[in-house]
Structure 1
Amino acid sequence: MKVLIVSDTHGHEGNLEKVLGKVGDIQHLIHLGDVEGHEDYIEAISGCPVHIVAGNNDFFSELPREEELWLEDYHALLTHGHYYCVSMGTSRLEEEARARGFQIVMYGHTHRPELKIEEDLTVLNPGSISYPRQWGHEPSYILMEIDRDGEAHYTINYLK
C-alpha cells in the first residue's frame, strides 16, 4: 500500500499535481489541512480515497478537525496540529496520540517536514508542498509504504 501525505497547499495545487504524476498509483491521499476551499478539486485529481482535515486557514469549511484512520494494521490520527500548538513543539500532540492508542500521528501547520519514529509512536509532518519554510525552502511531501509483511516505511521527498 502506498499513501501520499501532503499539507498546506493553500489553494495552490500545481505542485500537488506534479507529485501525483511523479509517484504513480497510490491507495490513499492524506491532506493535513489548509486547502482553502479546494478540497473538491483535490479529491477530483487524486484517483483514490482522500482524507482531508481542516487547517487554521480553512475558514467556513465543513472538513473535520481530526480524522482517525486505519492504514492496514496502523491506527493513525490526522490533524492540522494548530489545536495542539505544534509550532511550539509536538509534546502535547504526542501525549494525546498515545493516550488515545494511536501508532501514527500526522500533522501539518508548521510547513516544515518532520519524521520521528519511536517504538510506540510515529510522528510525521510532510511540510508544505506549496509554501515550505524549512532550510532550503524545497516543497516536500511524505510517502508511506506498507510492504507485504505489513511493515510501514516512510520517506520525506522534495519536489525539485
Structure 2
Amino acid sequence: MRVLIVSDTHGRHGNFDRALEEAGQIDVFIHLGDVEGGEDYMDAVIDCEKHMVRGNNDFFSDLPREEEFYLGKYKVFITHGHAYYVSLDPEYIFEEGQARKADIVMYGHTHRPFFEQKDGITVLNPGSLSFPRQEGRKGSYMIMEIEADGTATYDQRYLG
C-alpha cells in the first residue's frame, strides 16, 4: 500500500500537482489541513481512498477537524495540529496519540517536516507543499509504504 501524505497546500495546486506526479501510483491520499478550498480539486484529480482534515485556515470547510482510521494493521490519527500546540512542542500531539491508542499520528500546521518514533508510536509531519519554513525552503511531502509483511516505511521528499 502506497500512501501520499501532504499538508498546508493553502489553495495552491502547482506544487501539489508536482508531488502527485512524482509520487506515482498511490492507494491512499492524506491531507493534513489548510486545504483552503482545494478539496474539490483534489477530489477531482485523485482516484483512491482519501482522508482530509481541516486546518486553522479552512474557515468555511466541511472537512472534519480530525480523523481516526486504519491503514493495514496501523491505527492512524490525523489532525492539523494547531489545537495540540505543535508549533511549541510535538509532545502534546504525541500524548494525544497515546491516549487514542494510535500507532501513527500525522499532523501539519508548522510547515516543517518532522518524524519521530518512540514508545511504539510514529509521529510525523510532511511539511508544507506551498509555504515551506524549513532550511532550504523546498516544498515537502511524505510517502508511506506498507509492505506485504505489514512493515511501514516512510520517505520524506522535497520538490526539486
Tell me the TM-score normalized by structure 1.
Answer: 0.98
- SS of the residue corresponding to residue 153 of structure 2 reads strand
Q: TM-score, normalised by structure 2?
A: 0.98
Aligned residue pairs total 160
CA deviation vs aligned residue, 1:36-94 (integer Å, no higher than 9, x gap)? 11101111111212111010000021110001010000000000000001000111111
Q: Cα offset for 1:119?
A: 3.9
- CA shift for structure 1 position 24: 1.1
Quick one: distance in 2 between partners of 1:113 and 1:70? 23
CA RMSD, 1 decimal: 0.8
Alpha-carbon displacement from aligned partner over 1:85-143 (angstroms, at most 9, x marks no partner): 10001111111110110000000000000111224100000000111000110110000
The answer for unaligned runs of 5 or more in structure 1 is none
Letter in 2 for 1:19: A
Cross-structure match for 2:43: 43
Distance 1:129 1:69 in 2: 24
Amino-acid identity (%): 56
Could you say which residue in structure 2 is the equivalent of 1:133?
Answer: 133
**Partner amino acid, structure 1, of 2:114:** E
Provide the C-alpha distance between the structure 2 equivalents of 1:69 and 1:154, rounded to a whole number of angstroms. Answer: 18
By how many angstroms is 1:22 displaced? 1.5
Distance 2:108 2:142 in 1: 11
Unpaired runs of 5+ residues, structure 2, are none
Q: Which amino acid letter does the alignment assign opposite residue 130 of structure 2?
A: S
Structure 1 outlier segments of 4+, above 2 Å: none
